[in-house]
Amino acid sequence: MKTYQANLLNVLTLISMSLWAYFAYEPTPDKMSPSVTTFIPLVFGVILLLCHSGIKKENKIIAHVAVLVTLLAVVGLTKPLMAAIDEDRFMAVLRVGAMILTGTIAMITFIRSFIAARKKS
C-alpha cells in the first residue's frame, strides 16, 4: 500500500467513525447529549486530508507533519478505547479500534517509505 493510500484510508476512518459516534449517540440518564470531544478524531482527519496531496507528491515536510498528526491521533485514542472497554460499549470499541488500526497501518506505511527513501539516497 502506498503512503497516500494508507493516509486516505486513515482519513476516511477518522472522519466517518467520528461522525458515526456523534450521530448514533444513545442518551443515558447521566448524559443526555453527545460530547463534542467525539469531533477530535474528525479534526485530525481533516488535517490529514489537507496533507493528502502533499503526501501524494512525496513532499517530505508534509509527510512528516502527517506522521506526527497520525501518531498524536493513535496515542490520543488509547484512553477512549480503554474507557469503552471498561464500560462494555462494543460499538465504541469497534469504532475506536478501527481508528487505531488504520492509524497504525498508516504509521507503518510512512515509516517504510521513509526507510526506502533513505536507502535510495
pTM of the shown model: 0.92
The reported pLDDT for the residue numbered 26 is: 73
- Residue 33: all three cell numbers together: 447529549
Rounded average pLDDT over 42-49: 98
Quote the percentage of the chain above a pLDDT of 70.
Answer: 98
Give per-residue pLDDT as tens, 58-96: 999 999 999 999 999 999 999 999 999 998 999 999 999
The reported pLDDT for the residue numbered 25 is: 82
Mean pLDDT (the chain) is: 94
The reported pLDDT for the residue numbered 15 is: 98
Residue 8 has pLDDT above 90, yes or no: yes
